[in-house]
Structure 1
Amino acid sequence: MIQRRHVLLLAALWALVWGAGVFASADDATALVKRTSERMLTTLEARRAEVNKNPAIIFGMIDDILAPHFDFEKITQGALGPHWREATPAQQQALTNGFKQVLVRTYARSLLNYSGQEIRYLPVKPGSRDNTVTVSTEVRAPGATPIPIDYRMYDNGAGWKVYDVIVNNASLVNNYRSSFSTEIRQKGIDGLIIKLGEMNRKGSDSTGGKGQG
């Protein structure tokens, strides 16, 4: 349900975009990205031996450092498109929880393989709507073409939150929208909820533990 390139790059996607507090201007979004990227990667390196023995530990690290600064409901709503309105409040919550776990587990697998690629931070750009910005970065590895990664963020009054990530001009939200729509047409909203659960069980097996619930 997700292209391989996204799986390989989510280490760069999520490790770059978090922080806390209220930020006075759009310019602070880039500083936030850089500061929290360094915190995530420093924490990983400090606990590398521990994580190598028990990879599931990485889920707690992601929950503590990254997850609070994603708007997972907004991300899920974007991925479902018009189907979001067809879901009951209980189904919307189940979809949000399931999709959050899919994204966290996908990122965790990639982060375990992070090997020091350089991250270049570019000037922030205004978004298409008020209180939104796009933070642009490039991930550079020796001998490889730089990979552009843009973070679409909005200020919810308490700080910046991410609502989409663009990798090589491909939207993470739009990438899932097609597969989610197909699943809903074939098996309904509950079928997609079941599918997300299956993906998370497989993700637990691939990272050596159950991780977050």
Structure 2
Amino acid sequence: MIASLLAATLLAAAPASPLSVVKTGNADVQKAANAPGATVQSLATVVEKFVDFEELAKRALGEKAWTGLTAAQRKEFTDTMTGLLRASYAQKAIGQAQAEVKYGKEAVEGNEATVNTTLTVKKDQLPVDYKLYRTSAKGEWRIYDVITDEVSLVSTYSGQFRKLLADKGFDGLLTTLKSKRAQLEKENAAQSTKGGAAAPAAPAAGKGG
């Protein structure tokens, strides 16, 4: 009796598997996106419960560039990218609110994991893979990358960051990201005022210039 209760307690306390995290996250996002008066802001609040935007931003910038930043620069970069990613990811989620999700396999290797899914929008099928990580064997799984039709969100941003860093340096990169974030937030605010959902946004940090 005591052994079974102990086992049940340990099971209840165990962190959710990567597949469970993705399933729960998608279900919560679809519920929020289909709610009356859904906005990008309300959806972003749901999304950030299971997507680690800070980790996504850090990996996209790259370890070498990240290490070279001061504590203040890291905070400013993370805050800017988190705001940008929240808005962009939530916009895309609203655009895919009616999609049907089919779950494939879950692959775990140490503290990294991949969950394969297929998104069906009308008659189009799109492979979407989620990359997750945890800080320790007992830590909670968090999504840090989404690969849509073999295009990685982290890799997309990483390529843009490298070019902007080479052309404009860190200050120029930050200025570009702030401008893109302000643009997205302005669009989101306008859509919220109209009471409609924003159109899906491309996962781009914005072009230099």
In the other structure, the counterpart of 2:189 is 208
AA in 1 matched with 2:114: T
Please say if 1:125 is aligned against 2:107.
yes
Q: Secondary structure at the match of 2:129?
A: strand
| Cα pair distance change 1:135/1:181, threshold 3 Å | same
Superposed, which structure 2 residues align to 1:133-212 within 5 Å?
Answer: 133-144=113-124, 146-156=125-135, 157-209=138-190
Q: Normalization by structure 2: what TM-score? A: 0.75
Contact 1:22 1:158 in 2 (8 A): no
Cα drift, residue 115 of structure 1: 4.7
SS at match of 1:123: strand
Give, in whole Å, the separation in 1 of the partners of 2:162 and 2:14: 36
Q: 1:110 maps to which residue? A: 92
Q: Does 1:86 align with 2:68?
A: yes
C-alpha separation in 2, matches of 1:100 and 1:188: 20
Q: Is the 8 A contact 2:33 2:97 kept in 1?
A: no
Q: Deviations over 1:146-181 (max 9, x none)?
A: 211111112224310122221112221111111111
Does 2:48 correspond to 1:59?
Answer: no
Distance 1:91 1:154 in 2: 24
Residues 29 and 93 in structure 2, CA contact (< 8 A), matched pair in contact too = no
Number of paired residues? 177
- Are the structure 2 counterparts of residues 22 and 196 from structure 1 closer, same or farther at C-alpha, using a change threshold of 3 Å? farther
**Equivalent position amino acid for 1:37 in 2:** N
Q: Which runs of 5+ in 2 are unaligned?
A: 1-12, 193-209
Residues 1:23 and 2:15 aligned together: yes
Alpha-carbon shift at residue 201 of structure 1 (Å):
0.9
Offset of 1:32 from its aligned partner? 2.4
Deviation at 1:209, TM superposition (A): 4.9
* Conserved? CA contact 1:118–1:139, under 8 Å: yes
Q: TM-score, normalised by structure 1?
A: 0.74
- Structure 1 residues 22 and 155: alpha-carbon distance in aligned structure 2, compared to 1, 3 A threshold: farther
Identity of aligned residues (%): 25
Matched residues in 1 for 2:166 and 2:148: separation? Answer: 27
Gaps of 5+ in 1: 1-20
1:76 equivalent in alignment to 2:57: yes
CA contact (8 A) 2:134 2:142 kept: yes
What amino acid maps onto 2:26 in structure 1?
S
CA offsets, 1:100-153, max 9 Å, x none? 1111111232233335111111120123xx122101111012332x21111111
Return structure 1 stretches of 4+ with deviation > 6 angstroms: none
**2:23 corresponds to:** 34
Counterpart amino acid of residue 119 in structure 2 = V
